[in-house]
Copies of this chain bind each other. A is one copy, B any other.
Amino acid sequence: MKKRFAHIAAGLAFVLASGIAINAYSQVKPETLVKQRQSAMNLQGKYFYGHLRLTAQGKVPYDAKMVARNAAYLDALAGMPWDGFTAATKDVKSAATPAVFSEPAKFKDAVDHFLAETAKLVALTKGTDEAAIKAQILAIDKSCGGCHDTFRERQ
């Protein structure tokens, strides 16, 4: 997991610390960054709430291939929103709470936890332990909710 987050940290560093990259990325308006991170969250919702959680809850029939595909999609999407939470986006209207910007270490921990849980699900979907897969989906659900409690305005 450290490795996964290092990857994201590297992405942030790429945006924030590299002069030439800044020239490329600084053209991205704060509004666009917000739209992009919201897009990643929307798609996490599509695959997680729209299928994986329904599967864990027994509301749709268990389809191992679809679960594995959607877990892989979620894992990719899990890496995408965070470099959109730059200081420049602080005043753009969104569901992010001020805590995202005032408590970056806590936010990073929450993200890190989510990435760890998602990676565990991907690993489990290489096997056939349906009960463990369903339990891990519910662990991810807790991770989503735990982060949203502090870092997303109540919807």
Contacts and interface: CB of A to CB of B under 8 A. Distances in A.
A105 interface: no
Interface stretch (A73-81, A85-93, A131-139, A147-155): A73-81
A3 interface: no
A24 B80 contact: no
Contact of A20 (B40, B60, B79, B80): B60
Which of A20, A28, A76, A80 gathers most chain B CB within 10 Å?
A76
Interface string A1-30: 000000100110010000011011100100
A76 B51 CA distance: 17
Interface residues of A, number: 34
A52 to B, nearest CB: 11
A152 to B, nearest CB: 17
Contacts of A146: none
A123 interface: no
A124 interface: no
A69 B79 CA distance: 10
Interface of A: 7, 10-11, 14, 20-21, 23-25, 28, 35-36, 38-40, 42-43, 46, 50-51, 54, 59-61, 63, 65-66, 69, 72-73, 76-77, 79-80
